[in-house]
Amino acid sequence: MISSFLLFGTFILLGVPAAVILLPLAIITRNVTPLYNAARFIVRVGYALARIQVQIEGREFIPANTACIFMANHVSNLDPPALIPNIPGRTSAFLKHSLMRIPLLGYGLKLAKFIPVERSGDKESAQESVAAAGALLAEGVHITTFVEGTRSPDGRLLPFKKGPFYLATETGAPCIPVSIWGTETMMGKGSLRVHPGTAHVIFHPPLYPANYETREDLMISVRLAIASGLPVWMRD
C-alpha cells in the first residue's frame, strides 16, 4: 500500500497546485503545452517515488516531425502514464467519456483535446470520435489508442476495435504498434493497489496504411507487431 499512497499522493499534492496555476494560463493563452508538460513531470515523479521503473525500447523508430497513431495493448491503469509521457511531442488519446467529468482532470483533458469515447458502441458517436482524431492529426498532434478498447483481465491480447483502423486508413497516418507488459502484475483490473516493478514499453517500426489493401490486413500486422514484443503467454 505504500507505493499506492506515494503514487496517488504525488498526483494530488503536485497535480492540484499545477492545475490551479496552469489551467487558467492555458485558458487565457490557448496554449496547453505548459500544462501538458507539467502533467508528464508529475507522472514521472509519482512513478519514481512509487518505485515504478519504465523501460523504453524502440523510440528511434518513431518518425520525426510526423503525426502518428500509437496503437498499444492494455493490461493495467498504469499503462497510459507509462506510455504517454514517453511519446515525443504531444499526443491526444481516446479515453472513457466518464473521465471528462472528474473535476480539474476532466477540464484539463478537454483543453488538451483528449477524445472522449462512448462505450455504447453507437456508430454516430464513433464516427465523431474518428473525425476529431483526424483533425488533430492534421494539426500535427499524435493520437494514442489502446486498440483492445478495454483492459485485458488476464494480460492476454483481446480482439481489437475497428475504430483506430478506420482512422488510420482515412488519414494515412503512420501506425506505431506499442507492446506494454509488466504493469499487469503491478496494478490489476479493478484494484487501486500498486506494486513496485518495471513497466516495459516497446515501440515497433511504423506501419503505413497505404501499404495494405484492407483495414483487416493492417489490423493483423499491428496485432502481430504488438504480440512480438509481449511474453509468449500474453500473445493470445
What 3-state class would DSSP assign to 67? coil
pLDDT at 157 over 90: yes
Reply yes or no on whether the pLDDT at 117 is more than 90.
no
| Tens digit of each residue's pLDDT (9 = 90 or more) over 192-219 | 899 999 999 999 999 999 999 999 999 9
- Measuring CA to CA, how many Å separate 129 from each of 29, 96, 126, 163? 26, 12, 5, 9
Q: Which domains does the chain have, with CATH numbers?
A: 53-234 (3.40.1130.10)
Q: What is the pLDDT of residue 107?
A: 81
- In contact, 226 and 157? CB cutoff 8 Å: yes
Query: How is residue 236 annotated by DSSP?
Result: -
Give the position of cell 499522493: 9
Mean pLDDT of 74-102: 90
List pLDDT tens digits, range 168-199. 999 999 999 999 999 999 997 778 899 999 99
Measured in degrees and rounded to the nearest 5, phi and psi for residue 32 equal -90, -5
